[in-house]
């Protein structure tokens, strides 16, 4: 993004030289644009606005997740709510996620501005002025809004209420059904075909749904399952900590200062298509 141009009214250096452009840009801490018209090509601006839109969308995703967790029937987490704060002028009991809703709403504006940036890429001839009025709105708005959304989201994370007991209660409300996938895999590991294992586990799961029974108890009452899988292994299939064993590693990966992704290998200059063509030319000579 740090580029500049002094290539003249149509970008052909009619009155200045490319060398002078490079010197001026370097003095300003910029790189000279490889190609320009009367202006810097607007695909750069569109890319910048798209990046802001992606950031805003990620913050929207976080806000939407917490808003869902704040629903009355879920209530596993919620944004900070003071004792004297009002959630609704008509319904005193409400604890509306006002800031989270604001984040989701303003993220739509940033995304819309990115679309306007794409519309600015195609300009007439060396440059018409149709983009100027748009950029005077979308560039300051998008940068200011993205900064605002980042600040608001960080504050939400720092001050939000979290209710672990509700999380556990919601998990327990499934009566063990959340472990059906693990049980399926364990049955397969003990020699049951996947088709038979799936059919058996699904039958017990559907009965638990329809009759309000405990899935764990239904599994233990099935002699075909207990005859193939030891009781200890069945209990392990219903162990919540087994599912959470790698959570700390995930957090370490996210917040580690070291990059976890492997850096791409640098291409060998001798293996490039241009180098190969040059080699063939020398050989033919």
Q: Which CATH number fits the domain that encloses residue 226?
A: 1.10.40.30
- Are 134 and 119 in contact, with CB atoms under 8 Å apart? yes
Is 46 part of a structural domain of the chain? yes
CATH code of the domain in which 129 resides? 1.20.200.10
| pLDDT value for 173 | 96
Is 154 part of a structural domain of the chain? yes
Quick one: pLDDT band at residue 32, thresholds 50, 70, 90? confident
Q: Positive or negative, the Cα torsion across 249, 255, 257, 263?
A: positive
For residues 67 and 89, state if they share a domain.
Answer: yes
- pLDDT surpassing 90 at residue 10: no
Q: Which residues pair with 4 in a beta bridge?
A: 32
pLDDT tens sequence across 91-132 = 888 888 999 999 999 999 999 999 999 988 888 887 787 788
For residues 129 and 50, state if they share a domain.
Answer: yes
For residues 74 and 4, state if they share a domain.
Answer: no
| % pLDDT > 70, the chain | 90
| pLDDT value for 285 | 47
pTM of the full structure? 0.78
In total, how many domains does the chain have? 3
Burial class (CB in 10 A: 0-12, 13-18, 19+), 259: exposed
Q: Of 163, 194, 229, which residue constitutes the final position of a domain?
A: 163
Domain range holding 97? Answer: 42-163
Three-state SS for 155?
A: helix
Is 219 part of a structural domain of the chain? yes
Is 218 part of a structural domain of the chain? yes
For residues 70 and 154, state if they share a domain.
Answer: yes
pLDDT tens sequence across 126-156 = 778 778 888 899 999 999 999 999 999 999 9
Is 270 part of a structural domain of the chain? no
For residues 158 and 47, state if they share a domain.
Answer: yes
* DSSP-derived secondary structure letter, 77: E
Better-predicted residue by pLDDT, 89 or 115: 115
- ∠ CA 193-197-201, nearest 5°, is 175
For residues 144 and 52, state if they share a domain.
Answer: yes
| pLDDT value for 265 | 52
For residues 31 and 46, state if they share a domain.
Answer: no
Query: CA–CA separation, 35 vs 29, rounded Å?
Result: 18
Instruction: Work out whether strand 31-32 and strand 3-4 pair parallel, antiparallel, or are unpaired.
Output: parallel
Give the DSSP per-residue string, 187-236.
Answer: HHHTT--HHHHHHHHHHHHHHHHHHT--HHHHHHT-HHHHHHS-HHHHHH
Instruction: Work out whether strand 161-162 and strand 77-78 pair parallel, antiparallel, or are unpaired.
Output: antiparallel
For residues 158 and 84, state if they share a domain.
Answer: yes
For residues 185 and 229, state if they share a domain.
Answer: yes
pLDDT tens sequence across 227-257 = 999 999 999 999 999 999 999 999 999 988 6
For residues 180 and 144, state if they share a domain.
Answer: no
């Amino acid at each position: 993004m740090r580029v500049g141009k002094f290539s003249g009214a149509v970008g052909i250096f009619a009155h200045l030289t490319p060398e002078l452009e490079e010197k001026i840009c370097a003095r300003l801490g910029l790189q000279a644009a490889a190609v320009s018209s009367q202006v810097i090509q607007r695909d750069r601006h569109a890319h910048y606005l798209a990046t802001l839109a992606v950031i805003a969308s990620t913050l929207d995703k976080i806000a939407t997740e917490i808003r869902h967790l704040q629903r009355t029937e879920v209530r596993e987490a919620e944004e900070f709510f003071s004792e004297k704060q009002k959630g609704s002028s008509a319904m005193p009991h409400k604890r509306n996620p006002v800031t989270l809703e604001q984040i989701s709403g303003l993220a739509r504006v940033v995304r819309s501005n990115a679309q306007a940036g794409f519309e600015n890429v195609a300009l007439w001839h060396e440059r018409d002025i149709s983009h100027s009025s748009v950029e005077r709105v979308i560039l300051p708005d998008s940068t200011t809004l993205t900064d605002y959304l980042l600040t608001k989201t960080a504050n939400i994370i720092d001050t939000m209420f979290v209710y672990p007991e509700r999380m556990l209660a919601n998990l327990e409300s499934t009566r063990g059904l959340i472990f059906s996938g693990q049980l399926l895999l364990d049955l397969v590991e003990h020699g049951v075909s996947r088709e038979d294992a799936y059919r058996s586990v699904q039958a017990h799961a559907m009965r638990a749904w329809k009759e309000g029974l405990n899935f764990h108890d239904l599994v233990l009452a099935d002699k075909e399952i207990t005859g193939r899988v030891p009781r200890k292994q069945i209990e392990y299939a219903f162990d919540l900590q087994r599912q959470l064993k790698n959570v700390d590693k995930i957090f370490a990966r996210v917040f580690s200062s070291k990059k976890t992704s492997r850096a791409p290998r640098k291409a060998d200059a001798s293996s490039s298509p241009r180098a190969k063509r040059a080699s063939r030319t020398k050989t033919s000579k």
